């Protein structure tokens, strides 16, 4: 599915055979308002290939049963498939399968860390270091835990080009720091943050590093061992998988010493009237009936991405971003946010002067173009940028250069509405 790279200016896709890839996504044949669908909202939720749809359907039709509880064939098949999903994800990010806890999404995974680790380890005077680019999911839980424990939340500044101020980071991460929690890739600016450098800074102070990987794991190679992060959270629905499934990687020795986040069935080893003991990893963090079908779908998504090759996925998106930025910079009155293409993922946030982002998104919808508009669950970052929100176009394995041209055409139409 990979062919020899060519120039972006040739208007062909450079790494992936995207026309072949698009055949795997039936939703892309849709029309919207009489126009072909141009789906540019993958940072919010990606579309699903037939491999994922079929994997979930096959499970539902042939092997649906609860896991870890039955000695009959269907339950054993479901259990094997669900546990295999943990193995697939672990191999995808270079972890051990026992270090992969399935959750509903990134948000739940980050809350698991905040509550299971934060409530037990943070005390008055301790500090949690975040950044000004964080999604609410990696910000609000730490604010709440700090309020309960007396800890303090500090924020690393972002500069005008969308980069985190690493000199400021070095001054903020200090002896009082117990946790550094940072987005691998900004969901607004697209900036790829230096996670390994944060790991070194945190560990030098005896602190841990928690990475919000929602916008990185779908788009680039991720090796949690090389990053040396202590936790890594992600969502399945942003990486071609189903909704309702995500995960948390945690270093084994840390997970083993954490108390569970949720209590109930399947996460126990033994229960008496006096108390309970906990199951092995990762099951002690997966209380109750888990998202079995979704986990199987996530495994299919991971296998699909592995067949494409994550280096190819990343290169494809960088070519698209490079082309899109070149074209968008030619539109008068269009404000762009974030760094250059080689420093960001497949996300571009922009505004047209004089036009509200929601109005822009509505106009683009009439051209069949689906983008996101608003604060993108990053209201503090919007305050830093001095705006109320942005339009956001985000790309993925099925995005084409021609679709970017449609986006530019639709933005031009919005500009004419504003200035006829």
Q: How far apart are CA 195 and CA 220, in angstroms?
A: 14
The DSSP code sequence of 318-336 is HHHHHHHHHHHTTSTTEEE
Q: How far apart are CA 93 and CA 302, in angstroms?
A: 10
Q: How far apart are CA 394 and CA 320, in angstroms?
A: 10
Phi, psi angle pair for 227, to nearest 5°: -70, -25
- Rounded to a whole number of angstroms, the CA Rg of the chain reads 22
Give, as one character, the DSSP assignment of residue 147: H
Total Cβ atoms within 10 A of residue 309: 16
Evaluate whether 19 touches 3 at the Cβ level (below 8 Å): no
Q: How far apart are CA 269 and CA 61, in angstroms?
A: 31
Give the active site residues: 377
Structure tokens at 302: 């991971």
Peptide bond into 207 cis (omega under 30): no
Q: How far apart are CA 267 and CA 245, in angstroms?
A: 18
Q: How far apart are CA 167 and CA 150, in angstroms?
A: 27
Q: Number of C-alpha atoms within 13 angstroms, CB side, residue 112?
A: 35
Evaluate whether 185 touches 239 at the Cβ level (below 8 Å): no
Evaluate whether 135 touches 374 at the Cβ level (below 8 Å): no
Q: How far apart are CA 187 and CA 137, in angstroms?
A: 12
Q: How far apart are CA 317 and CA 332, in angstroms?
A: 25
């Amino acid at each position: 599915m990979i062919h020899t790279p060519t120039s972006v200016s040739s208007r062909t896709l450079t790494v992936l055979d995207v026309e072949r890839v698009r055949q795997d996504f039936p939703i892309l044949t849709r029309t919207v308002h009489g126009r072909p669908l141009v789906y540019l909202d993958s940072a919010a939720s990606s579309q699903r290939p037939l491999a994922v749809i079929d994997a979930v359907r096959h499970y539902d039709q042939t092997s649906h049963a609860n896991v870890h509880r039955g000695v009959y064939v269907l339950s054993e098949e479901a259990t094997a498939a669900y546990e295999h999903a943990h193995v697939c994800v672990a191999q995808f990010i270079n972890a051990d399968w026992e270090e992969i806890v399935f959750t509903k999404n990134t948000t739940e995974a980050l809350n698991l860390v905040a509550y299971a680790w934060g409530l037990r380890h943070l005390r008055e005077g301790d500090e949690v270091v975040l950044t000004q680019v964080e999604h609410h999911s990696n910000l609000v839980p730490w604010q709440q835990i700090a309020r309960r424990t007396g800890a303090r939340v500090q924020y690393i500044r972002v500069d005008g080009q969308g980069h985190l101020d690493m000199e400021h980071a070095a001054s903020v991460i200090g002896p009082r720091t117990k946790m550094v929690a940072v987005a691998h890739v900004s969901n607004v600016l697209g900036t790829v943050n230096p996670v390994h450098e944060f790991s070194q800074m945190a560990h030098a102070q005896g602190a841990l590093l928690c990475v919000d990987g929602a916008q990185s794991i779908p788009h680039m190679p991720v090796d949690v061992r090389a990053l040396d992060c202590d936790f890594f959270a992600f969502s399945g629905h942003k990486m071609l998988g189903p909704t309702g499934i995500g995960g948390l990687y945690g270093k084994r020795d840390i997970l083993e010493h954490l108390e569970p986040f949720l209590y109930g069935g399947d996460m126990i080893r033994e229960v008496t009237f006096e108390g309970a003991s906990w199951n092995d990893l990762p099951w002690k963090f997966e209380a109750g009936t888990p998202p079995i079908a979704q986990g199987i779908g996530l495994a299919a998504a991971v296998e699909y991405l592995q067949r494409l090759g994550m280096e190819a996925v990343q290169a494809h998106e960088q070519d698209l971003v490079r082309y899109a930025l070149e074209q968008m910079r030619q539109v008068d009155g269009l404000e762009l946010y974030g760094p250059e293409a080689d420093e960001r993922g497949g996300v571009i946030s922009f505004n047209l002067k004089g036009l509200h982002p929601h109005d822009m998104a509505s106009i683009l919808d009439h051209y069949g173009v689906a983008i996101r508009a608003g604060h993108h669950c990053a209201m503090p970052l919007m305050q830093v940028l001095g705006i109320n929100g942005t339009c956001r176009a985000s790309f993925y394995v099925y995005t084409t250069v021609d679709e970017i041209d449609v986006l530019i055409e639709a933005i031009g139409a919005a500009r004419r509405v504003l200035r006829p």
